Each structure stands twice: as structure tokens, then as C-alpha cells.
Amino acid sequence: MAGGLLGCALGALPAQAAQMIHIDDAAILIGNGFADGVLFLDGCGQAVRAGQCDVAITALAGGGFSTPRVIAIAQQSDAFPLQQFLIAERYRPVFSAEHLRSAGWIEHRLQGNAALVRAVAAGLSRTGANWASALALTLRRPGLSFSEAGLVQKVATPAHAGPAFLSSFLFERIPA
């Protein structure tokens, strides 16, 4: 099944459409070609930007993809097959968000672990158009305890030009 899902991901997300960066215990997947992805990468840390980017799909296809956490932002059509692949590879979703852009605003629909949703909502409400950096910083925050309790929340922020529909998510590996 994972092979079929990977095939779907390969078809939906061409090799030049994502980068993967390893930081501490997380793989960070970033879709290319839109300003929000660049800002998300900035939020992951300036020090990792030079020389540490690999093509995400190459790593997935190589079978060496194993990390405790996966954090991503991509256009929605690219994110879905990657999420399905992660589920097949024994990861569970902890947080997901849809970012819907219209008329100079983005509505962020946050869903998942209650503590994380509250932390992301608080960060987004203070950032303005630089919401993607705040999102990355919050998702990478060490020591945030995750519970099974879920929450759904909406937050609106100003937007610059970019794709109309984005997705972001955090997945954790299920212990064997």
C-alpha cells in the first residue's frame, strides 16, 4: 500500500516541488514556489537554509525516511498524498491546518492537539502577513506536551499574494 501511496505522491508532487530539511528530531517538508513556503523555512531557522536542503520525494522514494516528527507546508493538492504516505508509514497526525486566502486575508482553520492549536492560534494572531514563520516556530517548539484532546479553531491574518489554498501539518511516528 505504501508503494501505491508513494506513487501517488510522486505524481502529485514533482521532485522540484518540495524540499526536506532535518532539524533535531524533525523532518521539515516545504513546498517551493510561493512566499509562504519561504517564510515557513525562515521560521525553521536561518542556519539550516544553506546546503542542507534535499529533494523530499527523493528521500521518500529511497526508503530511508524515518524521523520522529514531520512538519510541512504545501499546496493542498501536494499535501494530501504526503499525509496518506505518512499514515501508511506509521505516523499519526497531531496538527493540521488549512490556509484559505481571499481578498487580502487568510483564514487559518486549525485542527488537532488542543495545546498545539491554542499555541498556533496565539502565534498567528500576533504576526500579520508573516504567519508562516510563526507557524513553523510554534510547530518546532520543544517541550510542548501533546494530549489526545482535540480542538478546532479559526484565525484570520492579513495576506500577501500567494496560492489560494495551502495546508500545513505535524505528524509524529507511532512507537512500535
- What's the number of CA atoms in the CB half-sphere (13 Å) around residue 10? 11
Closest CA to 129 of 45, 31, 35, 29: 35
- Whether pTM exceeds 0.85: no
Asked if residues 69 and 173 have their Cβ atoms less than 8 Å apart, the reply is: yes
Is 12 a residue whose pLDDT tops 80?
no
Boundaries of every domain in the chain = 2-173
Q: What is the mean pLDDT of the chain?
A: 76
Is 107 a residue whose pLDDT tops 50?
yes
Separation of alpha carbons 167 and 45, rounded Å? 20
Least confident of 27-31, 49-53, 108-112, 144-148: 49-53
Percentage of the chain exceeding pLDDT 70: 73
Q: pLDDT tens across 47-64, in order?
A: 444 333 444 545 555 556
Is 6 a residue whose pLDDT tops 50?
no
The phi, psi pair for 120, rounded to 5°, reads -65, -45
Joined together, the cell numbers standing for residue 43 give 521560521
Q: pLDDT tens across 163-175, in order?
A: 888 999 999 888 8
